[in-house]
Amino acid sequence: MSKLEYLLAAILALVGLCGSQTSPNSINTRQGGAEGLTIFANPVDCRDPMFGPSGPHDYSVRSDINCCYNADTRPMCCLEGSAARFQRTCLCNTRISCGYIPPPQAPPQQPQYYPPPQYYPPPQYYPPLPYQPLPLCIPPPQYQPPSQPPSQPPSSPSEKPWMRPMPDPRNRPSLCSVIPRALGGRKVVEQCDFPGVANITFLDGTGVTCNAVLVNGNVEGVRKRTFLTTEGCRYRVETVGESLELEIMIGNQRYPTQNTFRTVKASNGLAFIDPTSTSESLFSNLGPCQKPACAFNTVTMRGLVDLSDCVLVSYGASDTEISFNGLHQVGVGLVDSGCQEGEGSQSEVLTMCFRSKNNAKVLCSGDGGAPVYCLAKQNMEWILVGITLFDVNECAASTDVKVIPFPYESL
């Protein structure tokens, strides 16, 4: 073959090869399996301008690259990546299932175990302790004269009078009812409410001169148990005692005043009827109710004692016939405006003014020196606030009562 013929044969072969190349959208038929598959020679490129600048939307990776060539799925699939077929990835719209790769399933989670809460037994129940109000004042130790050996201490706390439990206030008789006056006042039922009230009697207890009250007092610089009364009562003991046999009656005990007691002046119209040094042992036989009165202290008890709820306690006359039949009480209350003039003969004495609860006339014979108690609401204890000043002979003269305040500063 000449060179010309060889060149012509090569040109014809090249033209024939070019004429047999398929177009990008030509369709080939691939036989395989039970049925044939119709595929396109070239798939859609994911960079095609029809997908816009951001590329295909709602497309996902498929495991079968033929999804991008299959005539049924090609319109909704595209290839991305390099030019080599097996280095490219087929993406299809999520609405078709060809080559769909299911998302990995998370392994089932085991339910988390929570241990049961730890059991704590309930706290032990302790019943509340009963309320036990304390007295507002505790008596000081009993004075022992130098001539006598000191007494032995009590063998048990129950022997101390101030350690005895307070009575239940709800079980006490009412002391707040309005009483007409001491001339017909109510009999004192529970004398333990008003400890230490005494009277100066004569004619074997049928007559009453005046009243006194057992206190812890300062007699001539010595603190001791003694009887507190008014200067007028002290005068009667000194003068009447010269002609009559006077006695001090306290509770169920009676003691002659002569050679057993002595009188001592105190301040502000008050006085003491004080046992002699040889008679002080009589206080050990007075009984459980007859103890020194709990006296008002303006420093420690301010605001704790109701001065409008008070009682005057006296052995004085209980009727207009001037008869005496025991200890009586009458309700009184403090009057801030002061007393009317004419009730007492010692105007220079500093006094408080109390008035009967129903404005009835109160005082009569034998009421001088009568103690006045007011109620401490927090423990229902009767507190001694003063001594009645009544030094005139007129009976039932006024509704007001002059009361000498208890001198806590000097006693």
Note whether residue 252 is domain-resident: no
Global pTM reads 0.55
In the numeric block, the tokens 């057993």 are attached to 260
CB-based contact 101:63 (threshold 8 Å):
yes
The CA-based angle 108-112-114, given to 5 degrees, is: 165
3-state secondary structure the chain: CCHHHHHHHHHHHHHHHHHHCCCCCCEEEECCCCCCEEEECCCCECCCHHHCCCCCCCEEEECCHHHHCECCCHHHEEEEECCCHHHEEEEEECCCCCCECCCCCCCCCCCCCCCCCCCCCCCCCCCCCCCCCCCCCCCCCCCCCCCCCCCCCCCCHHHCHHHCCCCCHHHCCCCCCCCCCHHHCEECCCHHHCCCEEEEEECCCCEEEEEEEEEEEEECCEEEEEEEEEHHHHHHHHHHCCCCCCEEEECCEEEECCCCEEEEECCCCEEEEEECCCCHHHHHHCCCCCCCCCECCCCCCCCCEEEEEEEEEECCCCCCCCCCCCCEEEEEEECCCCCCCCCCCCCCCCCEEEEECCCCCCCCCCCCCCEEEEEECCCCEEEEEEEEECCCCCCCCCCEEEEEECCCCCC
Note whether residue 251 is domain-resident: no
Note whether residue 171 is domain-resident: no
Give the chain's domain count. 2
Locate 301 and state its tokens.
């008890």
Final residue in a domain of this structure, among 55, 84, 102:
102
Note whether residue 63 is domain-resident: yes
CATH number, position 378: 2.40.10.10
Final residue in a domain of this structure, among 102, 127, 142:
102
Q: At 4, which amino acid appears?
A: L
CB count within 10 Å of CB 171 equals: 7
Final residue in a domain of this structure, among 54, 79, 102:
102
Note whether residue 108 is domain-resident: no
Main-chain dihedrals φ then ψ at residue 260, nearest 5 degrees = -110, -35
User: What residues make up the domain containing 355?
Assistant: 305-405
Query: How far, in Å, are 145, 198, 267, 350, 405 from residue 224 at the CA level?
Result: 9, 17, 17, 25, 19
Note whether residue 351 is domain-resident: yes
CB-based contact 209:240 (threshold 8 Å):
yes
Note whether residue 75 is domain-resident: yes
pLDDT in tens, the chain (411 residues): 566 666 766 665 554 444 444 444 555 544 433 356 788 888 888 888 888 888 888 898 998 888 988 888 898 999 887 666 667 889 999 888 888 888 788 888 888 888 888 888 888 888 888 777 766 776 555 656 665 555 555 555 455 554 555 555 544 433 222 333 344 455 555 667 788 888 888 767 667 778 899 998 889 888 888 999 999 888 888 887 777 788 888 877 888 888 888 999 998 999 999 988 877 777 777 777 788 888 998 888 888 999 999 999 988 765 555 555 678 888 999 998 888 765 445 568 899 999 988 777 777 777 888 999 999 988 888 999 999 987 556 677 778 889 999 987 655
Nearest Cα to 234, choosing from 365, 352, 369, 327? 369
Q: Are strands 305-314 and 207-219 parallel, antiparallel or unpaired?
A: unpaired
CB count within 10 Å of CB 246 equals: 23
Note whether residue 345 is domain-resident: yes
